[in-house]
A and B are shown apart, each in its own frame.
Chain A
């Protein structure tokens, strides 16, 4: 009898251990307390300077990160310190959908960033590693599938690619307190009320770019802009960009002569060109698909022998357009075309860009804007993790709290910013095609905040 009771106690203890090990992943996080050395007294907020111990939860281990991850057949080092614990980040990437070609550069640049961050100290006594990426195919359903596969392994997401896709998993992220770096520049990410303090936005939002493009054009171009046309996709980034242009047009008394904003599958170059030819405007603001841009510019020039000013949203321009032998290379280099950039191009002179170039040189010679996007996307997540570590709470709830109350900086790559501060950052970078640099873009004006974006009442909510 005695031995039976003993047996029951053992079974009970074993079951308790198993249940504790499996853990409920929805809300209750397994938390451990690790005592660390007192942080240096150079922190912004006195409330976090006194933390002596770091609470940790899902996705944070005391074991060291793996030394490398295999990406596309190549071992990419994490740069992790073997004497430090590890913070694991998830990756929801598009390996098979429309952005598959950019997936490699985005991921490698993100891994390169953490290689650099780990070798320069890591985060609060921890190194950071991005686990193997999950393919979303740019489909919301697959995005959720990928998220479900990694939700119990990571402390935050290094990348959630796509606006619609990220919105689709927002409820689950909310349940898990999962903070993510978005790979999208929707103006809604600038609002805590909209992204529930879960999205660590970076770079300039499309709506702001639309406003600043027109404002800058009015201030700086040699020819007056009285009428504009808008070409974009409906429901994609183009909608947000077009909304910004329209708001700036109203603010400046400029006439929007026409807008061609069809759904993706119904985009017709002939129709866009027909509008440009039958109702000529002083400037065209384009969020056109990559294949359409050269056709529109070339087709218009064929018939008129001239071009209006053209302001492309960041995804509507590609350095291939100015490659040697490209049929409309000269038109792109004619001085009539300007491009908005998410973040300053690869060659920009800031400490952050310099660190990126130095580290990236070990990976590839590409200077694509996707490399810059991948690298810069991690700065704000790094800032959030640092704040959480300083606050002594690296559980997901702690990381979320930190994301809602932190000013992040990026070694000059982007303007320091308090995340989710009721509106997007009002600054943009304006570039022009330039064949003499690897990125194919030279900065014309950095950190430009035009009168429309500066005076706009951002409390109204996202632009589109």
Chain B
């Protein structure tokens, strides 16, 4: 039972981190209809900025953290204003390809800065309790991942209210449905896009911190963790916050259970799944979900008039 609970906690923790990446992807998709492939790069640039300020410049982590988030938000604004604004009204496919270019543009200088030495964030999470964890009934819970879970819940609550109640939130939703119609209704689509990228970039940096914080460290390969949230948003539905979270938790729990139960399962079934199965399994789930519900578990079915 302890093993089961521990693997569940591990899975939920992973899911919480993925959900922060996924929410950032969903907010951009909801407003612009584009799946931003630049999001993993924004996440690691955010982490890099926190590390630069807190470790290399010696700024207190609690100051470096919000300052870096804000700066990344402005980076999102600049990216939108420079590269994406001219693409308003252009095919979604072209914009998606452009985000791949932005991803490369951001990661090349970051990788040069990271070099061969892993960077750490200078955060205090790993100093709390037992190397950053505490124990309840033999179950180990990590402060950093608990923080990710709480942050994800707060972010989702805030964004749900924002999209339902606020003027700008409603304008974002309207823009995602039809950019031209929104323009005709007097919505400043350009400003909405800027705002979306501002919020999306902050969420990206937030997720970047949680998967590089503590002793996770930032390396040139860290962005791969963010990429693992992609099947989560596909499972949950690209336009649903709830779906993003549920999809992330499914991915996280799958990874967690396979990490702890793969060998007993292989012995029981008499089949060897191989060493990389824990990362393959989420994609298998994604295929199954897409066969049953092509728009994801919470995604809205698109009806197009021909």
Bound-state Cα–Cα, A194 to B10, Å: 46
Known contacts A266-B279, A302-B142; A320 and B117 CB within 8 A of each other = yes
Q: Do residues B256 and A270 form an inter-chain contact, with CB atoms below 8 A?
A: yes
Answer yes or no: A64 CB below 8 A from chain B CBs: no
Nearest B residue to A270 via CB reads B259
| Total number of B residues with any Cβ neighbor in A under 8 Å | 47
Q: Do residues A258 and B263 form an inter-chain contact, with CB atoms below 8 A?
A: yes
Q: Do residues A294 and B275 form an inter-chain contact, with CB atoms below 8 A?
A: no
Bound-state Cα–Cα, A234 to B260, Å: 21
Q: Do residues B14 and A290 form an inter-chain contact, with CB atoms below 8 A?
A: no
Q: Chain B 77-95, CB within 8 Å of chain A: the 1/0 string?
A: 0000000000000000000
Answer yes or no: A48 CB below 8 A from chain B CBs: no
Q: Do residues B130 and A305 form an inter-chain contact, with CB atoms below 8 A?
A: yes
Q: Chain A 259-297, CB within 8 Å of chain B: the 1/0 string?
A: 111110111101101110111000000000111001101
Nearest A residue to B119 via CB reads A320
Bound-state Cα–Cα, A258 to B267, Å: 13
Q: Do residues B112 and A271 form an inter-chain contact, with CB atoms below 8 A?
A: no
Bound-state Cα–Cα, A229 to B276, Å: 16
Q: Do residues B276 and A266 form an inter-chain contact, with CB atoms below 8 A?
A: yes
Answer yes or no: A391 CB below 8 A from chain B CBs: no
Q: Do residues B279 and A277 form an inter-chain contact, with CB atoms below 8 A?
A: no
Which A residues between 240 and 266 are near B, CB-CB below 8 angstroms?
258-263, 265-266
Q: Do residues B118 and A291 form an inter-chain contact, with CB atoms below 8 A?
A: yes
Answer yes or no: B221 CB below 8 A from chain A CBs: yes
Known contacts A302-B133, A302-B142, A328-B131; A270 and B278 CB within 8 A of each other = yes
Answer yes or no: A100 CB below 8 A from chain B CBs: yes
Bound-state Cα–Cα, A423 to B270, Å: 38
B120, B131, B219, B255 — most chain A CB neighbours (10 Å): B131
Answer yes or no: A298 CB below 8 A from chain B CBs: yes
Q: Do residues A326 and B120 form an inter-chain contact, with CB atoms below 8 A?
A: yes
Known contacts A266-B280, A318-B117; A100 and B112 CB within 8 A of each other = yes
Q: Do residues B275 and A271 form an inter-chain contact, with CB atoms below 8 A?
A: yes
Answer yes or no: A164 CB below 8 A from chain B CBs: no
Report A-chain residues with C-beta under 8 Å of the C-beta of B215: 294-295, 297-299, 326-328
Q: Do residues A234 and B275 form an inter-chain contact, with CB atoms below 8 A?
A: yes
B133, B142, B259, B280 — most chain A CB neighbours (10 Å): B259
Answer yes or no: A186 CB below 8 A from chain B CBs: no
Q: Do residues A320 and B118 form an inter-chain contact, with CB atoms below 8 A?
A: yes
Nearest A residue to B256 via CB reads A270
Q: Do residues A268 and B131 form an inter-chain contact, with CB atoms below 8 A?
A: no
Taking the closest CB of chain A, its distance from the CB of B264, in whole angstroms, is: 8
Answer yes or no: B160 CB below 8 A from chain A CBs: no
Partner of A270, one of B14, B220, B276: B14
| Total number of A residues with any Cβ neighbor in B under 8 Å | 48
Answer yes or no: A102 CB below 8 A from chain B CBs: yes
Q: Do residues B280 and A303 form an inter-chain contact, with CB atoms below 8 A?
A: no
Answer yes or no: B122 CB below 8 A from chain A CBs: yes
Q: Chain B 204-225, CB within 8 Å of chain A: the 1/0 string?
A: 0000000000111101111010
Bound-state Cα–Cα, A348 to B120, Å: 29
Nearest B residue to A331 via CB reads B131
Report A-chain residues with C-beta under 8 Å of the C-beta of B115: 101
Known contacts A268-B259, A270-B255, A278-B263; A262 and B275 CB within 8 A of each other = yes
Answer yes or no: B111 CB below 8 A from chain A CBs: yes
Answer yes or no: A448 CB below 8 A from chain B CBs: no
Report B-chain residues with C-beta under 8 Å of the C-beta of A261: 275
Q: Do residues B278 and A302 form an inter-chain contact, with CB atoms below 8 A?
A: no
Q: Chain B 57-73, CB within 8 Å of chain A: the 1/0 string?
A: 00000000000000000
Q: Do residues A291 and B217 form an inter-chain contact, with CB atoms below 8 A?
A: yes
Partner of B116, one of A102, A265, A274: A102
Q: Do residues B263 and A262 form an inter-chain contact, with CB atoms below 8 A?
A: no
Q: Chain A 359-384, CB within 8 Å of chain B: the 1/0 string?
A: 00000000010100000000000000
Q: Which 8 A-B pairs have the closest CB atoms?
A: A266-B276, A274-B259, A101-B115, A262-B276, A101-B116, A262-B275, A320-B117, A298-B215
Sample 20 A-B pairs with CB under 8 A, ordered by A number.
A98-B220, A99-B116, A266-B276, A267-B276, A274-B256, A274-B262, A279-B263, A291-B219, A294-B216, A294-B217, A302-B130, A302-B131, A302-B132, A302-B142, A318-B117, A325-B55, A327-B131, A328-B126, A331-B131, A370-B116
Known: A274-B262, A274-B278, A318-B116. 14 other contacts (CB 8 A): A262-B276, A274-B7, A274-B10, A274-B258, A275-B259, A290-B116, A291-B222, A294-B215, A294-B216, A294-B217, A302-B142, A305-B130, A320-B118, A325-B122
